[in-house]
Each structure stands twice: as structure tokens, then as C-alpha cells.
Amino acid sequence: MGQFVNLTASDGFTFPAYVAQPTGTPKGGLVVLQEIFGVNSHIRSVADGYAADGYFVVAPTTFHRVQAGVELGYTEADMSTGFGLKTAVEGLPAPGVMNDIQAAIDHAAQAGKVGILGYCWGGLLTWRSACQLQGLSAAVPFYGGGMTAGDDAARKPQVPVLAHFGDQDHWIPLDTVEAFRQAQPGVEVQVYAANHGFNCDQRGSYDAAAAQLARERTLAFLSRHVG
């Protein structure tokens, strides 16, 4: 089990991050970025799981600049609240929350090389981090909403990227995933027979087989590029 610690971004903003540590010497650091539901029990369990696999895991509270202590479930009301918070964070003056993610990367770097992964909105932030932040060795966005369209799809990653998508995801149409694959030949794109949120065992869209395969591929990818 991990615990929350306070981190400070380069602009002086202090925010909590959930930190989970392995039992032995870390293989490296890993930043885990939340969905639009906060660093909730699911994200904490994800962090604990990757810590059990040997990584020093840091999960920053990326809503903290607009609201503290957010921990939502997966009801329609929770989704509406989370979407509003995400919109508020996205509306912050640049670099906004990217400063907090950089601080999380810097904290994770005490364990060696650092990878980053995230889900949904966190997947989009993972993609942006791969393209513009420092100190990363690998990035793994899971169904990053928005990363296959518009300006985000045209970004250029600075590190190896493994991107997971579901072919039944109505938030990320498959034709945009295929266009992204063509536009980003250096990115490893994996598509699963699954819906948006397939990794989350607290959601109706959970797909155990897709989640397991994506996790196995993620661990192999991290082993190659982080340790």
C-alpha cells in the first residue's frame, strides 16, 4: 500500500501525489496519470500493482489546481463532475497541470529511468508528456481521449510510445486511431476488441482479457525502456 505525499511544481504550487514503492530495489520510476475521476481507489490499485511489479510509482492529483480531494466513482453524475473538472484544468493558462506532471516525473526519477502511463484523460496527458516534458524514457497512453485528433495527433513524441485503444470506443473512433497510426509510424499502436475504459475493473466497460493483454504488453515495453 502506498501513501500520499506533497510535491511542489516549478511554479511553487504544492499538490498531493500517491506514491507506491516496491519491496526491493526499484526497476525504475513510473508516473501513473488518473482518469477524470481523481486518484481514486482504482488508480491507487493500479499504482500498487505496478509497484508490486518493481516500479516506484507516483500518481499525481491532476485536478488539484482546480479542486482538492477529488475521488469519484463511475456513475453518470460522477462522469459529469469529472468532465467539468477536466475542462477546468484544460482551461488553465499554459503550462498548467503539465508543471505538476513534470514534478511527478522528477520525484519518480530517484528510482532511475522513468516511464509514464495514463488512462482516458490521463492517456491524453501521457501523450502530451511524451511530446513536451523532460526526463522520460517511455510512455504508455491507454485510450487517450483526444490524442488521435486535431493538434494533439500531430505532436511529436520524444520517447518510445505504446498506445492502447479499444475498437468499440465511441469516444475515440477507430478511423481516427488508424489515421493516428499512419501519421505516427514510430508509435506502437495496439487495438483491442473492447470499449473505452476496458482496463478499469470498476466500470461496466471492463474487459478482463484486454486489460490483461495490455498490461502484459505494457510491462514488456517498460522492461525494455525503463528497466
Please tell me which residue in 100, 120, 200, 207 is annotated as part of the active site: 120
120 is catalytic: yes
Q: Which of 42, 64, 107, 196 is catalytic?
A: 196
Cell of residue 205, nine digits: 466497460
List, in sequence order, every residue forming a beta bridge with 71; answer none if it has no partner: 38
What residues contact 81, with CB distance under 8 A and at least 6 apart? 72
169 carries an active-site annotation: yes
Q: Which residues contact 131 (CB under 8 A, 6 or more apart)?
A: 155, 156, 157, 158
Q: Which of 100, 106, 169, 207 is catalytic?
A: 169
- Beta strands 55-60 and 114-119: pairing type? unpaired
- The 8 Å CB, 24+ separation contacts for 6-13 are 7/58, 7/60, 7/100, 7/103, 7/104, 7/107, 8/103, 9/99, 9/100, 9/102, 9/103, 10/99, 10/102, 10/103, 11/99, 13/65, 13/99, 13/100
Region for residue 38 given its phi and psi (left: phi exceeds 0; alpha: psi -120 to 50; beta: otherwise): left
CB-based burial label for 29 (10 Å; 0-12, 13-18, 19+): buried
Catalytic residue numbers read: 120, 169, 196
